[in-house]
């Protein structure tokens, strides 16, 4: 399947029937989505003031966080409350040398390209942390007239080499296939909506031939440790794929911290975690001196979904020129977050 992945039914059955739940008491309805459910609420001043504080696994366990060790046994599902909605997942790595070789090749390529990139100060110090990062693909906000391709400027050559690399494409495709496995309804919505967008606007670029995600970030390291943050412009009910890369002991550092469900998750190089990054606050523990950690993430800006849902129009234009439809949008707003959460699968649905 172009720009996506058709998972075989027997693969779905084999993985989901043995998928281990990581149960939490989190209330998904209380998470900070905006009312239209295309983006999340901005972080408060208090939250931003805490962003650069680093935390160890030990101190967080003392504060009541639960430690989730790595088990490379397939899929582990993050499950919310009594409804048992699956709001994320930790995905084990494919068996065999070829996958390890692909991950190693991506790591080496990112280290090489990052060392030669001559990143500007603002590219190395940003709200996600203090490490060089480049975002690639398609995005949209209410301040732009229509969706657009991100301009990578002096890094365009580097970006082209990364996107064309067969190993980068392979790890991107695996993340997309895993996304379909753990969140099939959201995957289907992404694919249907984004197919419409790219067909309507052919100048927009698909970044990978076998990934549904329209946008990605290369976090070059060499010691990526994200600050406590939410990616508020991402689709709030959608899942972001975060893949750890590098050379570090994941029992000692590089953990993924999920603040609302109070989880500390081991994520070794090559492994992937899916989270709704717009509404779940997340960060990392630092790796040890001398270790290397990078990451590769794929995501979907919520503005792309909004633009298609609104008939390829801006909301301000709808308000000015189509008052009947704008009134309908306003009536639906109080119910959109609940409707969006219905796209999440339950544990029993994924197992049948």
> pLDDT tens digits for 55-79?
999 999 999 999 999 987 689 999 9
Residue found under tokens 């001398």: 290
pLDDT at 35 over 90: yes
For CA atoms 166, 169, 173, 179, the dihedral sign is positive
Angle between helices 9-17 and 166-182 (to 10 degrees): 70
CB–CB of 350/84 below 8 Å? no
Burial (Cβ within 10 Å: 0-12, 13-18, ≥19) of residue 44: exposed
Regarding predicted confidence, which is higher, 287 or 53? 287
* Predicted local confidence at residue 52, as pLDDT: 81
> Which of 210, 130, 139, 138 lies closest to 174 in space, CA to CA?
210
- pLDDT tier at 93, thresholds 50, 70, 90: confident
Nearest 5°: the CA angle 18, 1, 304 is: 95
Closest CA to 120 of 160, 154, 149: 154
Given this model, what pLDDT does residue 105 score? 98
Q: Tokens 């699956």 appear where?
A: 86
The band of 19, judged by pLDDT with boundaries at 50, 70 and 90, is confident
Preceding amide of 334 cis, omega within 30 = no
Token reading at 253: 């550092």
229: β partners: 282
Which of these, 163, 281, 177, lies nearest to 232 by C-alpha position?
281
User: Residue 1: is its pLDDT beyond 70?
Assistant: no
pLDDT-wise least confident of 26-35, 58-67, 79-88, 169-178:
79-88
Strand pairing category for 263-265 and 66-68: parallel
Q: What is the pLDDT of residue 129?
A: 80
CA end-to-end span of the chain, whole Å?
A: 24
pTM to 2 decimal places: 0.95
Q: pLDDT tens for residues 74-84?
A: 899 999 988 89
pLDDT at 6: 59
pLDDT in tens, 309-344: 999 999 999 999 999 999 999 999 999 999 999 999
pLDDT interval class at 44 (50, 70, 90):
confident
- pLDDT, one tens digit per residue, over 182-220 is 999 999 999 999 999 999 999 999 999 999 999 999 999
> Is pLDDT of 22 > 80?
yes
pLDDT of residue 245: 98
Tell me how far apart the alpha carbons of residues 134 and 234 are, in angstroms, rounded to a whole number.
Answer: 16
Q: What is the number of alpha carbons within 13 Å of residue 254 lying toward its C-beta?
A: 32
Higher pLDDT, residue 188 or 5: 188
Find the DSSP H helices in 18-165.
Answer: 45-49, 57-62, 97-116, 121-124, 156-164
Which ranges of the chain would DSSP assign to H, the alpha helix?
9-17, 45-49, 57-62, 97-116, 121-124, 156-164, 166-182, 184-200, 302-309, 315-321, 323-341, 347-351
Q: Go through the domains of the chain in sequence order and give each one's CATH number.
A: 9-309 (3.60.130.30)
């Amino acid at each position: 399947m172009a720009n996506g992945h058709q998972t075989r039914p027997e693969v779905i059955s084999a993985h989901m029937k043995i998928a281990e739940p990581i149960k939490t008491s989190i209330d998904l309805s209380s998470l900070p989505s905006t009312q239209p459910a295309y983006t999340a609420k901005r972080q408060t001043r208090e939250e931003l003031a805490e962003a650069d504080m680093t935390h160890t696994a030990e101190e967080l366990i003392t504060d009541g966080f639960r430690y989730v060790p790595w088990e490379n046994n397939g899929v582990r599902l993050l499950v919310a409350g009594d409804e048992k909605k699956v709001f994320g997942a930790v995905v084990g790595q494919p068996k065999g040398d070829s996958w390890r070789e692909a991950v190693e090749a991506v790591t080496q390529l990112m280290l090489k390209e990052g060392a030669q990139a001559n990143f500007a100060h603002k590219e190395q110090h940003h709200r996600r942390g203090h490490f060089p990062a480049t975002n690639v693909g398609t995005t949209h906000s209410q301040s732009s007239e229509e969706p657009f391709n991100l301009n990578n400027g002096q890094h365009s050559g580097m970006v082209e080499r990364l996107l064309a690399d067969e190993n980068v494409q392979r790890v991107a495709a695996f993340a997309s296939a895993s996304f379909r496995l753990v969140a099939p309804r959201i995957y289907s919505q992404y694919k249907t909506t984004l197919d419409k967008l790219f067909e309507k606007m052919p100048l927009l670029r698909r970044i990978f031939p076998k990934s549904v995600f329209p946008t990605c970030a290369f976090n070059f390291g060499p010691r990526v440790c994200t600050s406590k943050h939410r990616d508020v412009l991402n689709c709030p009910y959608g899942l972001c794929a975060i893949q750890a890369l590098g050379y570090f002991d994941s029992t000692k550092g590089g953990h993924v911290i999920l603040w609302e469900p109070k989880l500390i998750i081991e994520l070794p190089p090559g492994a992937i975690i899916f989270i709704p990054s717009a509404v779940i606050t997340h960060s990392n523990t630092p790796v040890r001196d001398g270790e290397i950690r990078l990451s590769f993430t794929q995501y979907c800006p919520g503005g792309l979904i909004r633009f298609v849902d609104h008939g390829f129009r801006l909301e301000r234009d709808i308000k000015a020129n189509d008052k009947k439809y704008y009134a309908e949008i306003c009536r639906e707003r109080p119910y959109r977050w609940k409707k969006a959460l219905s796209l999440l699968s339950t544990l029993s649905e994924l197992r049948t």
